[in-house]
Structure 1
Amino acid sequence: MSDKNSLLQTIKNNFIEYLILTVSTLILVLGVYLFKFPNNFSFGGVTGLAVVLAEVSPISPSTVTLIINMSLLVLGFIFLGKDFGVKTIYVSILTSVALSAMEFIYPMSGPLTSEPLLDLLFAVFLPALGSAMLFQRGASSGGTDIIAMIMKKYTSINIGTGLFLSDIAIAVAACFVFGMEIGLFSFLGLSLKSLVVDKVIESMNLCKYFNVVCDDPKPICEYITNELHRGATVCRGEGAYSNDTKSVIITALKRKQAVQLRNFVKSIEPNAFMLISSTSEIVGNGFQS
């Protein structure tokens, strides 16, 4: 029975995992197809390159993306073997297929709005949101990330710098292919992209770090361990002014749990002193591995 329950739990976890990957990928695809491709914004790896290549060839950006991504997947299999992530393969194929499918579901002959800056914001934000959600699940959208994985394995080249320079080269090419206005929009999008991805990931990872100075740590620790299912560390301290012995409880919680703990401490020990800090990077059991 336990083996059956374990199998069902594994299936459930995998279903949720791939559902999140699918939703994240579709958010990315909507941003690229609805806002990036129609405006010829040329930033962000494979899709940015696809915009430029599609302008000088008879095929659409979606088809170019499909061809490049499939070629990179083959290279990934050849050079990375078992190190090549299953999630990245799934997302890369889904991205390519979904972009091609959108051409039949919702063909576009021009930009969605008459405001290029508004389109640019959505062309940056939606893919950034999708990418951040993918990074949270240990996946990526493939494309230039596959090149980065190959470079990391076989060379000592600074990958981040290499990919950033390639993105700049694509934006420069957009200046010659589409004109200076589109090129400048592409440079702006390139600048915003990394900033938005970092901020979205930071927001998703945001947790609260507590230092609770109190007289009786027992009920607070029991609440943290039994109700919030988190760990805590208790230290002994002494008040600098009163010289009274105090207990200091140190713990890290998700945002919702932080509100619960704050309210609980205020209800049972109103004079407790709480230092609450925001942090986006906690490494350890229950957080990042």
Structure 2
Amino acid sequence: MKKLLKEYIIITIGIIIVATGLEVFFFSNNIASGGVSGLALVLNEVLGVEPGIVMIVCNIILFVAAFIFIGGNFGIKSIYAAFGLSFLLSAVEKIYSPIVVTNNLVLVSIFGSVLVAMGTAIMYTQNATTGGTSIIAKILSKYFHIDFGKALLLSDSIVILLAIYTFGIELGLFGLLSVYLIGTLIDKFIDGFNLSKQVMIFTENEELVANYIINDVGRGCTVFYGKGGYTKKQNCVILTILSRAQFIKLRQFMIKNDSNAFITVNETTEVLGQGFKSILDT
């Protein structure tokens, strides 16, 4: 229950960040940065269809696809995120709209994209999106092994073409720039959130170090045995995957208790199974 509550709290934080980027930067300057919201903006301008109706119909169709191709867990979380975002945007528009921080379209594109990408990446780490073309991107990412950000850029392209036709080249191009930035930044943020340390420790104190990693750091480890190419001595190599905070804790321990050890550290952007992200969520 605590794990589930934590997941939904993190998703809620992502919703708030995305809503801020959309309401403060994109909506107030009529920039369609892709997605169902961009499509709704275009159809409202061309056909007079209410954006809310367009978003509801599109999301219903896409959520059905999410349940079929991705799974119920993803669908439930994304329904919460989608309706949470819609409710928050609606509430903000009724109380504070319009919120205009700047009319500089370059600043709008940059800061709006950063916020939307950050919020989307936060939700993605919890296996959820705000619906819309994010669901299409998730399906493409799962079945065609395309990075999520690139898949989102691909699925948003048609919306941008419609925006260029509807709102003119200038606003359409800024929308295209925003979509590109969002797609690129999402992958960067996801890599940053998932960043772990792959640590290899060459030591003569196998039990001391291994027991500390298991009992105090709270991670597993694998022990290899070999022989030094120069010294010709038998040695032990301990391999473990840690978060940044756990690595700092281990490093302090090694400084105090095994300062002669040889340690290599590599950054890894994704770890699956054994106490990390489930391989079934990929």
TM-score normalized by the length of structure 2: 0.86
The answer for the alignment partner of 1:4 in structure 2 is none
Do 1:69 and 1:93's aligned partners in 2 also have CA atoms closer than 8 Å? Answer: no
Alignment-derived partner of residue 76 in structure 2: 86
Matches within 5 A, 1:90-169: 90-108=80-98, 111-146=100-135, 164-169=153-158
Whether contact under 8 Å (1:202, 1:280) holds in the other structure is: yes
In structure 2, C-alpha distance between the alignment counterparts of 1:32 and 1:151, rounded to whole Å: 24
Give the distance between the partners of 1:162 and 1:261, measured in 2 at CA.
38
Which is greater in Rg? Answer: 1
Give the one of 226, 251, 254 matched to 2:243: 254
| Structure 2: runs of 5+ lacking an equivalent | none
2:191 to 193, 202, 205: 202
Quote the residue 2:178 is aligned against.
189
Cα shift at 1:99: 1.3
Give 5+ residue unaligned stretches, structure 1.
1-9
Would you say 1:237 and 2:226 are equivalent positions? yes
Distance 2:266 2:104 in 1: 40
Contact 1:213 1:249 in 2 (8 A): yes
What residue in structure 2 maps to residue 28 of structure 1? 18
Aligned residue identity for 1:178? F
Match of 1:51 in 2: 41
Aligned CA distance change for structure 1 residues 159 and 220 (closer, same or farther; 3 Å): closer
Give the deviation of 1:81 after TM superposition. 5.9
Which of 63, 67, 70 is residue 56 of structure 2 equivalent to?
70
Q: Which residue of 2 aligns with 1:3?
A: none
Number of matched residues?
A: 272
* Cα separation, 2, equivalents of 1:254 and 1:159: 23
Over 3 Å counting, the alpha-carbon distance change for 1:159 and 1:68 in structure 2 is farther
SS at match of 1:37: helix
1:135–1:41 Cα change, 3 Å: same
Please list, as runs of the form range in 1=range in 2, the aligned pairs for 1:223-234 lying within 5 A after superposition: 223-234=212-223
| 8 Å CA contact 2:138, 2:151 repeated in 1 | no
Tell me if the contact between 2:153 and 2:179 (Cα under 8 Å) persists in the aligned partners.
no
Aligned counterparts of 1:151 and 1:265: Cα–Cα separation in 2: 44
8 Å CA contact retained: 2:40, 2:55: no
Provide the C-alpha distance between the structure 2 equivalents of 1:220 and 1:258, rounded to a whole number of angstroms.
13
User: Equivalents in 1 of 2:221, 2:140: separation in Å?
Assistant: 41
- Structure 1 SS opposite 2:205: coil
Percent sequence identity is 36
Q: In structure 1, give the amino acid aligned to 2:57.
A: S
Q: Helix, strand or coil for the counterpart of 1:288?
A: coil
Aligned equivalents of 1:169, 1:48: Cα separation in 2: 10
* Contact kept? 2:66, 2:135, Cα under 8 Å: no
TM-score normalised by structure 1 residue count: 0.84
CA contact (8 A) 2:194 2:270 kept: yes
Match of 1:137, as an amino acid? Q
- What per-residue deviation string (whole Å, max 9, x for no partner) do you get for residues 219-238 of structure 1? 11111001111001111121
Contact 2:133–2:155 (CA under 8 A) maintained in structure 1: no
**Cα 1:164–1:17 shift into 2, 3 Å:** closer
Question: Aligned letter for 1:198?
Answer: D
Secondary structure (helix, strand or coil) at the match of 2:224 reads: strand
Q: 2:63 touches 2:135 (CA, 8 Å); kept in 1?
A: no
Q: How does 1:265-284 map to 2 (within 5 A)?
A: 265-284=254-273
- Cα distance in 1, alignment partners of residues 102 and 199 from structure 2: 46
**Aligned counterparts of 1:114 and 1:57: Cα–Cα separation in 2:** 27
Q: CA deviation at 1:215?
A: 1.1
1:12-23 matches, within 5 Å, as 12-23=2-13
CA distance in 2, matches of 1:139, 1:223: 35
| Equivalent AA in structure 2 for residue 67 of structure 1 | I
